[in-house]
């Protein structure tokens, strides 16, 4: 019985160690900081409906991020049909979580009402996904201007 109790205690301690090691839900660690994404970012996007250049102009206050993006329309071709999707310029609900920037863009004429963007910030680069009905890739670099 004592051995069983010791094994259960060891298992519980190991489980707690794993939970506490995952800093995702814990407090900020001293010496780490939220990346600064303020400024102009330029790059490309690629999706099954097309590809092109994109510019983000961002401002940041703490973990909140606001700004504008430059891709205002997308014209996917389905068979012989073309359809124009209007994409909102304003970044909605911008939030930095550690080194991940998450925001949304409103859309009109598309199968979904918003596009979700998730970017991983690493120094002067950001890469990630742009997802509406399906997902694509986005890659950006901080502009020196």
Residue 125 has pLDDT above 50, yes or no: yes
Q: Give the pLDDT of residue 75.
A: 75
Q: Residue 114's closest CA among 101, 127, 104?
A: 104
Residue 74 confidence class, pLDDT cut points 50, 70, 90: confident
Residue 7 has pLDDT above 50, yes or no: no
Tens-place pLDDT, residues 108-123: 888 889 999 999 999 9
Half-sphere exposure of 85 (CA within 13 A, CB side): 21
The domain 39-142 is classified under which CATH number: 2.10.109.10, 2.40.128.120, 3.40.50.300, 3.40.640.10?
A: 2.40.128.120
Two tokens, residue 108: 């009109």
For the chain, what is the mean pLDDT? 80
Residue 64 has pLDDT above 70, yes or no: yes
Burial label, 75 (beta-carbon count in 10 A; 0-12, 13-18, 19+): exposed
Using CA atoms, how far apart are residues 52 and 127, in angstroms rounded to an integer?
Answer: 15
Q: How would DSSP label each residue in 97-131?
A: ETTEEEEEEEEESSSSSEEEEEEEEETTEEEEEEE
Two tokens, residue 68: 């504008």
Two tokens, residue 66: 């606001």
- Read off the pTM: 0.73
């Amino acid at each position: 019985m004592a051995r069983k109790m010791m094994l259960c205690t060891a298992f519980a301690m190991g489980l707690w160690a794993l939970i506490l090691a995952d800093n995702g839900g814990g407090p900020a660690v001293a010496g780490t900081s939220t990346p600064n994404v303020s400024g102009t970012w330029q790059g490309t996007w690629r999706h099954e409906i097309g590809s092109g250049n994109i510019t983000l102009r961002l401002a940041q206050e703490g973990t909140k991020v606001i700004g504008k993006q430059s891709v205002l329309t997308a014209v996917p071709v389905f068979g012989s049909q073309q359809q124009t999707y209007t994409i909102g310029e304003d970044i909605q609900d911008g939030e930095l979580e550690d080194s991940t920037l998450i925001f949304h863009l409103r859309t009109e004429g598309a199968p979904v009402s918003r596009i979700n963007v998730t970017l991983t910030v690493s120094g002067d680069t950001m890469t990630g996904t742009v997802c509406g009905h399906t997902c694509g890739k986005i890659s950006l670099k901080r502009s020196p201007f």
